[in-house]
Amino acid sequence: MLAAFANCFKIPELKKKILFTLGIIIVYRIGCFLPTPGVNGAVLAEFFRRMQTSGQGTIFGIMNMFSGGALQKLTIFALGIMPYISSSIIMQLLTAVFPALEKLAKEGHAGYMKINQYTRYGTLFLSAVQSFFIALWLENPQAFHGLQIVSNPGWGFRLMTVLTLTTGTIFLMWLGEQIQEKGIGNGISLVIAAGIISAAPSAIHQLVLLLSPKTATVQQIQPLTLVIMCVLLVGVILAITLITQGQRKIPVQYARRIVGRKVYGGQSTYLPLKVDTSGVIAIIFAQSIILFPATVASFIPNAAFRHFSEVIVRGHLPYYITYGILIIFFCYFYTAIVFNPVDVAENMKKHGGFIPGVRPGSPTAEYLDFVLTRITLAGAVFVCVIAIMPDAIMAAFKVPYLVASFFGGTGVLIVVGVMLDTMKQIESHLLTRHYEGFMKSGQLKARR
């Protein structure tokens, strides 16, 4: 594998792409430290630190993770790329609902570019709406336990915040597109992964403090506990890799057709059904819904929302039961949106393909739905375990949530998946230039 990394810089084109990508990521990380005018960043960071320590949170905690900690300081990239992700998911859902968008998605590259343009418009709208509500949230001292975050509240501050944060998100979206076109690909995903990985130095620092015998104010952990945590981390990464690349291969046979003097078809192939089709989307949906009452309660002092947020709180059994049910539901929901067994069966029938032992048409669609339903259950249960694992690590080993978050949860799923996709992109360049890939036997598989 080290030889493969060395070979990356022997190919001028690949070397240029890697350096360009690194340069874009550096620009992104610099922007994460440029503050938004009119905000006391130190007080806001202290509020987020208390929120993480108490175990309670709002949707802003998810946005802070996706922005690489920029929301915690309210920098120009405070919204991160989250509005673009939300807009992309909304467009996927609308494509499955509206026939006009579904027809547009089947028009190839031209349809893709048109839907991508709609996604950009949606990103602009969501960024403006989210930044306006963030400005209102910052002006409310009750949401910060009496702390004054904004020195001069009013419409001047609100408009400045909307303009700054919306422009930052659009610029981030452009940076991701530049990585996609001129870099090694996976632009938006790499921006998200870079933001999540940026929290690693802080987590390592907290872990060192836990191991230091000179620190009297922090509860210590034993070296054996650290060894167990390291072994567990390796196991989690291996398990995520296996599930992310796990597929159920359905054999497909194509009938032979004779057109004139040529023979078409007759070959055998397979239809890959992924074990975890939804990936991290199910966790994002579930977290957004379960944290929604607490978020609304911070804006509107409603007794019902406050009571629900106090019952469904991290560390209590109702929270984990609700969280797990929501994850399983959204795993099935998202899988049903992106994979339609009826369309797949019809396409196979049109091209003369069939599954051995299964009649074409409706029986094929029922068989695919039968298989997909069962393998999705395994993927959904695994995603539940990964999502709840940081809380289990925090309770078992008495470590801060920032340290425990690197043993599971949304961040680890994203980072492992993005690294697999990026290595696949680099490996394709290496194999094209007759170099060895990252694996001596077999081949890396991307998530898509």
Whether residue 226 is contained in a domain is answered as no
CATH code for the domain in which residue 185 is found: 1.10.3370.10
Whether residue 384 is contained in a domain is answered as no
Q: How far is CA 158 from CA 138, 336, 360, in A?
A: 10, 40, 59
Give the domain range for residue 151: 14-198
Whether residue 327 is contained in a domain is answered as no
Q: Confidence band (pLDDT; 50, 70, 90) for 445?
A: low
Whether residue 122 is contained in a domain is answered as yes
Whether residue 401 is contained in a domain is answered as no
Percentages of the chain per state (helix, strand, coil), in multiples of 5: 70, 5, 25
Whether residue 211 is contained in a domain is answered as no
Whether residue 53 is contained in a domain is answered as yes
> pLDDT tens, 180-238?
888 888 888 888 888 888 888 888 887 887 777 654 455 577 778 888 888 888 888 88
* pLDDT at 372 (0 to 100): 92
The listed range with the strongest mean pLDDT (87-96, 205-214, 292-301, 426-435) is 87-96
Whether residue 159 is contained in a domain is answered as yes
Q: How far apart are CA 20 and CA 181, in angstroms?
A: 11
Task: Determine the distance from the C-alpha atom of residue 381 to the mean position of all C-alpha atoms in its chain, rounded to a whole number.
Answer: 18
Helix crossing, 281-290 with 409-432: angle to 10°? 160
Q: Is the pTM of this model over 0.85?
A: no
Q: What is the total residue count of the chain?
A: 448
Whether residue 39 contacts residue 78, with contact meaning beta carbons closer than 8 Å, is answered with no
Number of domains in the chain: 1
Could you give phi then psi for residue 132, rounded to 5 degrees? -65, -45
Q: How far apart are CA 248 and CA 339, in angstroms?
A: 14
Q: Confidence band (pLDDT; 50, 70, 90) for 170?
A: very high
| Structure token digits, residue 188 | 């938006």
Q: How far apart are CA 397 and CA 219, in angstroms?
A: 10
